[in-house]
Structure 1
Amino acid sequence: MSSLHISKVRKAYGPTEILREINIDVNDGDFLVLVGPSGCGKSTLLSLIAGLDTLSSGEIRIDDDKVNDLHPSERDIAMVFQSYALYPNMTVAQNISFGLEMRKVSKVDREKAVQDAAKLLQIEHLLNRRPGQLSGGQRQRVAMGRALVRDPKIFLFDEPLSNLDAKLRVDMRTEIKKLHQRLGSTIVYVTHDQIEAMTLATRIAVMKGGILQQLGTPSEVYNTPANTFVATFMGSPSMNLIPARIMGKNGALHFLIGDGDKTIDVELPPQPDAVARYAGKKVIAGLRPEAIGVENERSASALRNVPVTILVLEPTGPDTLAVLEMGGMEVSARLGADMPHAPGEKCELRVDLSKLVLFDAETEERIR
């Protein structure tokens, strides 16, 4: 296991900046996921860590060693690509051991390393097959096995599951999670899939336009997003962003949604001073779908009944996704599977305001 330190890293092609002063520290055994939309710079950052591209400025260190100018072969990393990159004329065993052979590792040690990796990945029965005889998931296991036998300081994964179908992607996600738990390896993993990021990571780096938007645990990124981009990018359905106004009434803060006869006035639970300073101002109220229509009493002091109109219901089995009209605006909610309401019905649903996140209406940054 090793640590990784990315300090003030920039990458530009002429006047076009791809990465802008990225600062990330990855601790021993961390599973860092770089996530963001296409073109955000996450794969470029992975290439810089791997040594497949050169920095414009900044520094990358593995443990205490600066690796900016080191060739990829000298960085002691292993990379797993989305394309698998297997040699079609070699068996699975030969593919896994090829890198070790190039490093002049003895045949006995190579065979032991292959057997150990195959056992860990449950592909012992595939060792004599060629890549053309394997499924997509099996090929990905072979690609992972080739990385594992290296016993590198850091594993790099570049969207390794994007070529798999939906069910196989879920299965392989579980296998990668198990692998990390068994080995305790340091992993940097690139994906555009926020569900992959949430389920795999110990820490998530959310990127947009070459800028690091937020770095934190899955819980921090999901529950306290740094800005409205992170709020809407992480989570499915995404967080509801509702234009609102903060008002002071009778010694308490309220937030008002909508205008005219559709205005909803909701008293807030106690708020930090930063929110109190927004009294009389416009804000953006962020509510996750599961915070609307709650059925438990865990946050009783923060629960409020809010009038809504049910517009659309989408049963999913374990729950029901709903589109509601609230204060003249459409919001999403995740309701119970056996909820008694029907489309067109007006009712009151309980909203858990302990889950409320407020953003500045102009900067779109979280108020904290």
Structure 2
Amino acid sequence: MASLHISNVRKAYGATEILKNINIDVSHGDFLVLVGPSGCGKSTLLSLVAGLDTISGGEILIGEDRVNDLHPSERDIAMVFQSYALYPNMTVGQNISFGLEMRKVPKAEREKAVADAARLLQIDHLIDRRPAQLSGGQRQRVAMGRALVRKPKIFLFDEPLSNLDAKLRVDMRTEIKKLHQRLGATIVYVTHDQIEAMTLATRIAVMKGGVIQQFGTPAEIYNSPANTFVATFMGSPSMNLIPSSLATQDAKLFLTMGEGAAAVKLELPPQQAEAAFGFAGKKVIVGLRPEAIGVEHSRSQSAVREVDVKMLVMEPTGPDVFAVIEMGGVEVGARLGADIPHSAGERCTLRVDLSKLVLFDAQTEQRIG
């Protein structure tokens, strides 16, 4: 296994720039997820790492080796595709061992590697079947087994779960997580699904328009989004963005959240106020995750404020209720307890945890502080 260093990498087709100065450093054993909407450049970046496309500028290092000009076969990587790319006329065992056979690995060593991979992926009972006799999840395991036996420096996954149904996606996500924990492998994984990104990654690169919007741990991305795009793209349901303003009063900073006569005025907790004092008198955007609204308990009780709201829509999900509420004259989403004693159309008071609040500059849409 190896580290991966991507330094000032660019990709252009003629005058059209697809990737713009991409910088990423991941350590040995990291699970990097490239996530973003369709067309953001994440698959192009994976292709550059794999050597399936040439870079227009910058440098890619796998371990200590500069691989810019190396053929894919010389990079010591293994790729798992969305389409599985299995040979239909070969058995599971033959599919897994094919790459080793091409490298003229001795038969006994091939057989041991195939048996070990099949056992690890729990497909050893399928070893003599052909791909047509397998389910989607089983085919994906075979594709992963073919990559595993190579023992590469880096595994590359290109949206490997997008062809599976919802339940199987969850199951396979768990299997990939277990696999990473067992192997300690360095993995680069492309997806447009932010749930996959949050659950699998040790590091996430959120991309938009060929630019990395934020690079960090899942907790950093979720709790401290760099801008409003990251705030709304990562998280399900997404973060609420509420037009607001800041003003000082008696050396304290107050937030007026929402619009018009229904706007709510709240004193900011000291930690949030410290970073935002420079924006007093200015327009800001308040970011609040749905779970920060309607809290029963908080580690920062001094940051909890009571706010009058109106329930508009209630959507029970079993363990909780997702509600659309009117707060400060603005519709926002809240994740509430399953036993909440209110119904649609009611006015009530909910507790809002301002320690989880994120402030964005209304002009630049970048996080404040």
TM-score (ref. length: structure 2) = 0.99
Cross-structure match for 2:35: 35
- What is the rounded CA distance, in whole Å, between the counterparts of 1:150 and 1:297 in structure 2? 48
Report whether the alignment pairs 1:140 with 2:128.
no
- After superposition, give the CA deviation of every residue in 1:105-153 in whole Å (9 maximum; x if it has no partner): 0000000000000000000000000000000000000000000000000
Deviation at 1:185, TM superposition (A): 0.3
Cross-structure match for 1:50: 50
Report whether the alignment pairs 1:105 with 2:96.
no
Q: SS of 1:12's equivalent?
A: strand
Q: SS of 2:12's equivalent?
A: strand
- After superposition, give the CA deviation of every residue in 1:60-110 in whole Å (9 maximum; x if it has no partner): 001111000000000000000000000000000000000000000000000
Cross-structure match for 1:313: 314
- What is the rounded CA distance, in whole Å, between the counterparts of 2:14 and 2:82 in structure 1? 28
State the AA in 2 paired with 1:351. Answer: V
- After superposition, give the CA deviation of every residue in 1:27-84 in whole Å (9 maximum; x if it has no partner): 0000000000000000000000000000000000011110000000000000000000
State the AA in 1 paired with 2:279. Answer: Y
Cross-structure match for 1:179: 179
Cross-structure match for 1:206: 206
- What is the rounded CA distance, in whole Å, between the counterparts of 1:7 and 1:15 in structure 2? 21
Deviation at 1:306, TM superposition (A): 0.7
Cross-structure match for 1:249: 249
Cross-structure match for 1:342: 343
- What is the rounded CA distance, in whole Å, between the counterparts of 2:196 and 2:205 in structure 1? 13
Deviation at 1:272, TM superposition (A): 5.2
Deviation at 1:26, TM superposition (A): 1.0
Q: Map of 1:229-240 to 2, 5 A cutoff?
A: 229-240=229-240
Q: SS of 2:299's equivalent?
A: coil
- What is the rounded CA distance, in whole Å, between the counterparts of 1:65 and 1:259 in structure 2? 56
Q: Map of 1:188-203 to 2, 5 A cutoff?
A: 188-203=188-203
Q: SS of 1:301's equivalent?
A: helix
- What is the rounded CA distance, in whole Å, between the counterparts of 1:282 and 1:139 in structure 2? 53
Cross-structure match for 1:168: 168
- What is the rounded CA distance, in whole Å, between the counterparts of 1:263 and 1:104 in structure 2? 72
- What is the rounded CA distance, in whole Å, between the counterparts of 1:79 and 1:185 in structure 2? 13
Cross-structure match for 1:219: 219
- What is the rounded CA distance, in whole Å, between the counterparts of 1:263 and 1:250 in structure 2? 21
Q: Is the 8 A contact 2:244 2:256 kept in 1?
A: yes
Cross-structure match for 1:119: 119
Deviation at 1:208, TM superposition (A): 0.2
State the AA in 2 paired with 1:354. Answer: S
Cross-structure match for 1:354: 355
Q: Is the 8 A contact 2:12 2:18 kept in 1?
A: yes
Q: SS of 2:45's equivalent?
A: helix
Deviation at 1:327, TM superposition (A): 1.2
Deviation at 1:259, TM superposition (A): 3.6
- After superposition, give the CA deviation of every residue in 1:308-344 in whole Å (9 maximum; x if it has no partner): 1000000000000000001111000000001001111
Report whether the alignment pairs 1:61 with 2:99.
no
TM-score (ref. length: structure 1) = 0.99
Q: SS of 1:293's equivalent?
A: coil
Cross-structure match for 1:20: 20
Cross-structure match for 1:262: 262
Q: CA RMSD in A?
A: 0.7
Q: SS of 1:277's equivalent?
A: helix
Identity %: 78
State the AA in 1 paired with 2:74. Answer: E
Task: Show structure 2 runs of 5+ residues with no match.
Answer: none
- What is the rounded CA distance, in whole Å, between the counterparts of 1:33 and 1:259 in structure 2? 38
Q: SS of 1:229's equivalent?
A: helix
- What is the rounded CA distance, in whole Å, between the counterparts of 2:264 and 2:186 in structure 1? 49
- What is the rounded CA distance, in whole Å, between the counterparts of 2:76 and 2:139 in structure 1? 23
Q: Is the 8 A contact 2:298 2:353 kept in 1?
A: no
- What is the rounded CA distance, in whole Å, between the counterparts of 1:175 and 1:45 in structure 2? 25
Cross-structure match for 2:305: 304
Task: Show structure 1 runs of 5+ residues with no match.
Answer: none
Structure 1 runs of 4+ aligned residues shifted over 4 Å read none
- What is the rounded CA distance, in whole Å, between the counterparts of 2:310 and 2:346 in structure 1? 6
- What is the rounded CA distance, in whole Å, between the counterparts of 1:162 and 1:81 in structure 2? 10
Q: SS of 2:287's equivalent?
A: strand
State the AA in 2 paired with 1:223. Answer: N
